[in-house]
Structure 1
């Protein structure tokens, strides 16, 4: 596209690109924006180095003139959009790129690969946080994801309300609290379960979490308390009929005097399994496979579309696809969340700039994210992650109660074009 646009002389036309999802994953009631901070950092570093240019030249992908243009490529324009951690709905313009066509069109795959993955994970994580009812959740899915995606998933889950991750690189890179427990291999390494528990307590102290379902759970509980004492930090259950097992483990711990010892459960949990345990005396959850695969929705289904451009005379022209089933709405947009008198969100109102309608009142959703190719610092790094987590916690409070139902349903807010 770039090569052909350069031939036609249109690659420098000013354009507006939008990232949005035509719909939410089947049955979901809201989505969570995640990946924005990662994306901004990647855009700042986005270059075509000698190795890439040489490959493009050797394989005759584009003309020499286009290769010269790519060699000097830097994104030097403007991006605005929803804050990371914000909620989104069908049609929400979560990212808007204002740039010449050549600059903007090259960002499509990068933007979509980051936002589709991270928003899918954050949206699944938010449902799990709701199901947990205030009990902490740890992200433990690194072994079920690509090595780089695992780090991004831990980041997205933390923004959506998870308390910690077992991925140490996510802690190093993004400042996310880390935690972990021993695996069954550690118990099996030792001659007896007691030997394994003693080794772990000797290393980490009585406040550690002991895995108690390698052999017999109730014998392991007895051994764990004998080894660590009644100040044992926690026990982890990774198998069995959890609603029944958790109750009996709690009773046994209390009978042994370990009333402060917490119970954490893992075992292929998703939001529905977590909800089923709300009446059980579970203290925390560890979630892996379901979280890092989006709990059935591994992508957010976002698209990157040109919605406005300048014509040859310099006038702005709204543009949009008219394809059956994939039609979009052209024109630059200003999204606003309508809030009622009780502080509850009632609609996602999207004001089309070309419209003569007055600007709707409510909470404006777009913020500057990048100016002249430089990202707004507050959205970057570990500080940006913490800011996104705080923002998500605030905006969740705006949703109507129906938004938190786990059963299939329509989006919690209607999208209205004004």
Structure 2
């Protein structure tokens, strides 16, 4: 399936005009960055690179797409001929997927002709804004969970394909599993899930429902114990498994007190190895509030797939440089008071002291210094996508890189309360 029409109309009307005035082949550099982090956030997590590169590979205009554009009078015959042969032939550099970012970090840098690069704006932003928002929220939840595992369970709270992308982004940021089977198939993410309240309500009694689930899935399963009376359900669950039940799930109530009561009951009944998972409208704040409670794992839905109140990462796509006829690069920038951009092709590095980040360094001239970790890596060269960033291997590499990048941040970056960016961005 082509990704070519996953875009805004003005991308193609600009190409149409540029082909007419002779600027379509002017060499340009575009950058994706966020002017600021969502209010109170201390860092962001760059996610979506692998999905963008896959979409770039599929960015082709066939007869059907061109026919639609012509029928709508979006393009003329000359532009139609150009799009019929469209192939991105430029270069792309990017922050590795899973990398943390800060205000003005150039997370994606696209170099090519104006016409071949500008049409990628909407595609890039729709992927990076959504995936980075989810990964950024998920990373905060991972910090709040304090090494206890989290599962993404938000498929019913977003669009069907958004759910697959959300599971991917959350996994990169440190979640351990997803309930979404397509995400498991496509991206290799571990999947989980046992039963909902409907399964208990289907049966004549809660005990009958538990017996059925145990017969099908074994004693290592997780039983949902809050359909009727939690205390009675826990008694039944322990009795049916001789105290060897894998876990119980709690999806309602005042979680700190309920969890403490259930833990005490399980221990009193001899089910000391039975774990407790909670899944009741959790976000980073409720997870943090449960830090002292005997919770073993969390399932998170709405808040993670919605970016926990910030559904977009605030990224923009701006032209920052183009070549003059003489071959010299010319920095260009928007000067609007509240939407200014920084002109020029950038380099970026993370300044470190004893392995801990002290600054995000964005250079408009020169190269990254010896005490700075380079952040921009080639991901497309002369139109050829680097395959290591794609598919399951790309997701696993991004997950591993995120863990390393997050470990470089100062300790207060893990705080979920409102604060300034964990490190300053220095533009040099």
- Regarding TM over 0.5, the answer is yes
Match of 1:406 in 2: 416
Confirm or deny: 8 A CA contact 1:121 1:153 kept in the other structure.
yes
User: How far did 1:313 drift?
Assistant: 2.0
Match of 1:347 in 2: 359
CA distance in 2, matches of 1:266, 1:358: 45
Picking from 124, 129, 139, the partner of 1:116 is 129
User: How far did 1:269 drift?
Assistant: 0.2
Picking from 23, 26, 29, the partner of 2:39 is 26
Deviation string 1:123-181 (CA, Å, 9 cap, x unpaired) is 00000000000000000000001001000000000000000000010000000000013
Confirm or deny: 8 A CA contact 1:206 1:229 kept in the other structure.
no
CA distance in 1, matches of 2:264, 2:124: 51
Deviation string 1:198-223 (CA, Å, 9 cap, x unpaired) is 00000000000000000000000011
Residue segments in structure 1 that go unaligned for 5+ positions in a row: none
Picking from 256, 271, 274, the partner of 2:287 is 274
Picking from 274, 284, 297, the partner of 1:284 is 297
Match of 1:328 in 2: 341
SS of the counterpart of 1:124?
helix
SS of the counterpart of 2:347?
strand
SS of the counterpart of 2:81?
helix
Match of 1:365 in 2: 375
Residue segments in structure 2 that go unaligned for 5+ positions in a row: 1-13
Picking from 113, 120, 126, the partner of 1:100 is 113
User: How far did 1:372 drift?
Assistant: 1.9
Deviation string 1:103-132 (CA, Å, 9 cap, x unpaired) is 000000000000000000000000000000
Confirm or deny: 8 A CA contact 1:30 1:123 kept in the other structure.
yes
- What are the within-5 Å matches in structure 2 for residues 128-277 of structure 1? 128-277=141-290
User: How far did 1:50 drift?
Assistant: 1.5
Picking from 57, 62, 65, the partner of 2:78 is 65
User: Which stretch shifts more, 140-149 or 219-228?
Assistant: 219-228
User: How far did 1:359 drift?
Assistant: 4.5
RMSD of the TM alignment (CA)?
A: 1.0
SS of the counterpart of 1:304?
strand
SS of the counterpart of 1:258?
coil
SS of the counterpart of 2:136?
helix
User: How far did 1:71 drift?
Assistant: 0.8
User: How far did 1:311 drift?
Assistant: 1.1
Confirm or deny: 8 A CA contact 1:349 1:360 kept in the other structure.
no
CA distance in 1, matches of 2:385, 2:219: 45
Match of 2:388 in 1: 378
Deviation string 1:80-109 (CA, Å, 9 cap, x unpaired) is 010000000000000000110000000000
- The TM-score with structure 1 as length reference comes to 0.98
User: How far did 1:312 drift?
Assistant: 2.1
